[in-house]
Every structure is written in C-alpha cells, then in structure tokens.
C-alpha cells in the first residue's frame, strides 16, 4: 500500500478509507487513546473492511496490530447467524487471501476464522472483540470446549 500524508479525520467516528490508510502509516499523529470510545468497533464494518484487511496484511504498517484486531472484530461479526450474505462472502475471500499470501499472524487469523465459521459457539468476547487473539496469538482448535 502506498503511504499518504495524514491530514486528519474529517469525522473520526466515520473515517473515509483513504483517511484510515493515511493514519495507519502515521498513527502517532492521532494516538489511539485519543480516538472516540470503541473506535475499533465503529470502524470494523463493511465500508472499511477492505482497507483494514490490506493494512493487516502489510508487514510494514505501523498500525498493523490495530488493523488485525479490527479484522478479528470484522470476522466475529461476519459469522453471526444474521450477518449479511455480502459480509460472509467478503470474509471468506479475505480468509482465502490470508491463507494464500499472508504471513504467520494473518494465517493464524485465517485459521481462527475458519474455526469460528465451523464452531461459532467457540466465540470468546475477550479474544475476538477485545484484542486477546492479537495480544496472545494462537491457533484455536476445533475441539476446544466452552
């Protein structure tokens, strides 16, 4: 991805893809702790999903771990029973791409997504929504019990 100069967010609650991408290469300009509460949840939707995925795949992106965290949120939302067909299809494409060309953290993400798709009852809020699987990367097992 090409780095752009970050000029700030027009609306931090609803950033444009190009703003998010520019910020991700200069995250010190607007630290995460100054963003709106639950910003990760607010931006982890379909509009910014492709941007977040590209940032999560980029080994050189300074905000990569944050983007990976958002992709865990995106995936957890995408396996819900009432998730849109578009979200499920897009998630499947992201998983396939991460499996094909992703490095270890993204291959772990893809593996964990496949486990959750197969066994949604293994969803753990802390791991998927609060960054647990990014802070403590591990492959979930299909045979875990809750």
Question: Which residue is it, tokens 């959750």?
Answer: 116
pLDDT, tens only, 37-79: 999 999 999 999 999 999 999 999 999 999 999 999 999 999 9
pLDDT, tens only, 75-122: 999 998 888 888 999 999 999 999 999 999 999 999 999 999 999 999
Average of per-residue pLDDT across 135-139: 97
User: Which value, in Å, is the radius of gyration of the alpha carbons in the chain?
Assistant: 15
Give the predicted TM-score (pTM) of the model.
0.93
DSSP, collapsed to helix, strand or coil, labels residue 78 as: helix
């Amino acid at each position: 991805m090409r780095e752009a100069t970050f000029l700030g967010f027009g609306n931090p609650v609803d950033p444009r893809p190009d703003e998010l991408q520019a910020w991700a290469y200069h995250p010190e300009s607007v630290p995460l702790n100054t963003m709106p509460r639950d910003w990760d949840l607010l931006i982890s939707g379909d509009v910014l999903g492709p941007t977040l995925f590209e940032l999560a795949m980029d080994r050189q992106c300074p905000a990569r771990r944050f983007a990976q965290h958002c992709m865990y949120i995106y995936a957890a939302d995408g396996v819900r029973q009432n998730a849109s067909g578009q979200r499920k299809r897009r998630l499947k494409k992201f998983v396939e791409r991460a499996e094909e060309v992703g490095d270890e953290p993204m291959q772990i993400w893809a593996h964990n997504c496949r486990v959750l798709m197969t066994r949604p009852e293994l969803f753990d809020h802390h791991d998927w929504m609060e960054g647990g699987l990014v802070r403590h990367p591990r492959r979930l097992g299909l045979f875990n019990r809750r």
